[in-house]
Structures are given as C-alpha cells and as structure tokens.
Amino acid sequence: MPMEYLLHYTWKHRLFPLKELATTDGQTVEVIDPGLHNKDAGPDFFNAKVKIGGTLWVGNVEIHTHADDWYLHGHQSDRAYDNVVLHVVEVADEHLVTDTAGRAIPTLVLPVPERVRENYHELMRTEEYPRCHQIIPSLPRLTVHSYLSALHTERIVRKSERIEQYRERHELSWENAFFMTLARNFGFGVNGEAFEEWAAHIPLGAVNKHRDDLFQIEAIFFGQAGLLHDKETDDDYFQRLQNEYAYLAHKFELQPMDPVRWRFLRMRPANFPHVRLAQLAHLYYKGEGLLSRLLEAETVDAITQLLTAETSEYWQTHYTFGHSSERRTKQLSKATKLLLIINTVSPFLYAYGKYMGNEALCQRAINLLESLKAEDNRIIRIWRECGLKVDNAADSQALIQLKREYCDVKKCLHCRFGYEYLKKNNKLTS
C-alpha cells in the first residue's frame, strides 16, 4: 500500500518521469487536471481531465501498483468505478481492465521517479512528525504527565458531550443513546457515521418485542441497513431474511437507510459491515439490560465478558451475502472489545455520571482507561518515536486528542509542548 500511495503522490503533483505519456495500447495521454484526491471509498481521483488519443475525457482515475489489482479489488463488478476514464499503474501485468458493462478502460503505466522514491521516507517523516518533536525527550516527566492528564480529561469530556447531544437531538433514553454510541464505534472509524445513521433507523421499542429471536433481530438489523434490498441471489438465508424483513417492515412501518453509505474499500473482511451487524445482533440478542450491567461492572474482566459476542451460524462461513468463505468463528476479538471499552463504555460511564451527579462513576470511567494497555495505532507509534512514554489507554487517548485537535489544525500556541518549544528556542536565540 505505501507504494500505491507514492503513485498517488506522483500523479497528484504531476511528477511524470516521461516526456510523453501513452496508454498500453499506444494512445497518447495529456494530463490537463489530475482531479480531486479521494481518500475514502471509490476511485482515487475525482473529476480528472485527460486527453487520450486526442479526445478530452472528464471523469475519475483509479491508481494501483499492479494492474491486476483492479480485478483483485472487484472493481469490474462495482458501479462506483463505471466513470473511471483512466487506470494508472506502475506494473501493467493486465493490459486491459473493464467496467461493469464490459467497457475497456485505458491503462497508463506511470513509473515513480527515482528521486521521488529515494526522498519518500524523509518526506513522510517531515509530514508525519510534529515540529516540536525534537524537544520532547528533554521535557520533565512531570510536565509531560500533567499535560497528558489534561488532554485525556479534555477528550473524555468531549466524547461524553457528544453522547449527551445524541440523547437530546434524538430524544433518546439512556438505553437508546448507549445503543447509538455502541453502534457508531462498531464502525471503527471508516463506517462510524454509517453505523450511527443505521442506529437512528432502528426502533428499539419494536425490536425489543422480538428480542428472543436472533433471526428476527438480524432481519431488522440487515433490512434497516439497506442490505436486503433488491439483491438477486439464490442464497436461501438471504431470501428468508428478506421475507422476514418485509413482514416486520410492514408491521412496524420501517424505512431502511441508503446502502450506499456503507464502505468496503481497503477493509479487512472481518470488518465488513455485514459481519459487524451480525455481531451487534448477537450482542443485542443476549445482552438484555446491558447498560445497567455495565454500570454495575467494576473491572475490565467483567466488562469484557459482557461485551462478548459472536454471530449466527451463517456468518461462520460468510463475510457478505451469497459468497461462502472458509469457516471461522467471528467472535469479537480481545483487541476489539478493549477498543469498545475505550471508545464506548468509558465515555458513557462518564456522561451518565455527570448527568446523575455521580463523581464515583466519572472516576471509574477514568480508572478504566488507566488500567487498560495503550492503543497501538499510527498516531501512538509516531509519538513513541518522538520519545514519549505511553503507559496506558489514558495516555494513548490523550495523544490522539493532541494530534487531532492541536497538531493537525496547527494550534501550536494553545499546546503545552508548543509553548515549551517556543520558550526553548527563544532562549537559544537571545
């Protein structure tokens, strides 16, 4: 994937090593506008303008390291890629790719300039690391610790305020607000907004009447996600779900969300929305009174046990409808449950504690994070490489807050590390 990103960079900044560009079938290519870089699902660049063989084309551009990645990623059967006018690759192991209608899409081989390749690592370091990283190892431990504590509090307060906003905006009970918060975090970033929208389409009062039937819960969950709509398949399980949803939708006057909101690109199959919805259905099926039990649970082990969920039998051999896979028990992993504790349980305990005036509950929310191991993601690895010691999840949440709310938006004058950096440099230059 890093090499593909480097191709994106080369295309975006027009760092073409060749004086004349041509497709694999010999048509000249002139790039008038490389388009708008898309970092979400769909083609890599929108609304590009290119002349191919003298004809001006306006449309999307898809970039791969290897041309056969087009088929590996299933773009030939995805209508989102029907407006691709040029396929840019570094290695043309496939000279011809097609869209859903069988239309051939021109392929351009674009080598990455050697000087760009050589400077790539240093370029990434320059873009990734905060400017203040050089002084971080020299800061007193007390300064670092006090600032991380403040950042962690800032982050959990912000998350708890969002939960309260859910409750007020949608006129939800605390049970329903918890369900929406949990659902959003089942999206794990990429599908977070889609899961939040989906949760708003779930009438829990109606679903509760069928809580003792996992199949009916799945029918409502998948149906309201728009994943049972107009799909032609001979899959028996899908058809039974579709029929059950039609009955329940009529009974409760249900309206599904638009399925286009779900994202699948650059995602491991275990994180596909189908699998996560199946796990949520199982958790809801077995988790009656889940919020009250979480409020009473005082240890990580007790909370982890309450968040244990798997799927129904069908999903042991499927990641999506109609496509069987090797049998695998798709339980929530330990790492996944820990993320749910960090991003759902702890902020919710804090929000509910603030609402009830229960300081002990707020403190329990903070203690939870201090007892969990730190998250391991790109942001945390960057700070560790800068010399920061990250002891627990409270620290990792603090550093995520620092990166997103200060570094990324260049609020250095509001940052304690930025203050220390400016102060030290003033002394050095005075």
pLDDT tens track for 376-402 = 998 999 999 888 999 999 999 999 999
pLDDT for residue 68: 87
pTM to 2 decimals?
0.69
R_g over Cα of the chain: 25
With a pLDDT cut of 70, the percent of the chain lying above it is 94
- Spatial separation of the C-alpha atoms in residues 17 and 21, rounded to whole Å: 9
Output b/e per residue, 252-291; b: 16+ Cβ within 10 A.
eebebbebebbbbbeeeeebbbbbbbbbbbbbbbebeebb
Q: Which two tokens stand for residue 182?
A: 């949990």
What is the sign, positive or negative, of the torsion defined by CA atoms of 56, 57, 63, 64? negative
- What are the pLDDT tens digits along the chain (430 aa)? 567 878 887 888 888 877 789 999 889 999 999 999 887 788 999 999 999 999 999 999 999 988 888 988 889 989 889 999 999 998 887 668 899 999 999 999 988 887 777 666 544 454 567 777 778 888 999 999 999 999 999 999 999 999 998 888 878 889 999 999 999 999 988 899 999 999 999 998 888 999 899 999 999 999 999 999 877 778 999 999 999 999 999 999 999 999 989 988 777 888 899 999 999 999 999 888 889 999 999 899 999 999 999 999 999 999 999 889 999 989 999 999 999 999 999 999 999 999 999 999 999 999 999 999 999 998 999 999 888 999 999 999 999 999 999 988 878 878 888 888 766 644 433 3
Task: Report the 3 state secondary structure along 80-138.
Answer: HHCCEEEEEEEECCCCCEECCCCCEECEEECCCCHHHHHHHHHHHHHHHCCHHHHCHHH
Q: Are 173 and 292 contacting, i.e. CB atoms less than 8 angstroms apart?
A: no
pLDDT for residue 124: 47
Q: How far is CA 429 from CA 137, 412, 418, in A?
A: 20, 19, 17
Strand-pairing partners, residue 50, are 31, 57
pLDDT for residue 418: 84
Task: Name residues whose C-beta falls within 8 Å of residue 344's C-beta, 6 or more positions apart in sequence.
Answer: 178, 181, 182, 185
**Domain residue spans of the chain:** 2-120, 174-342
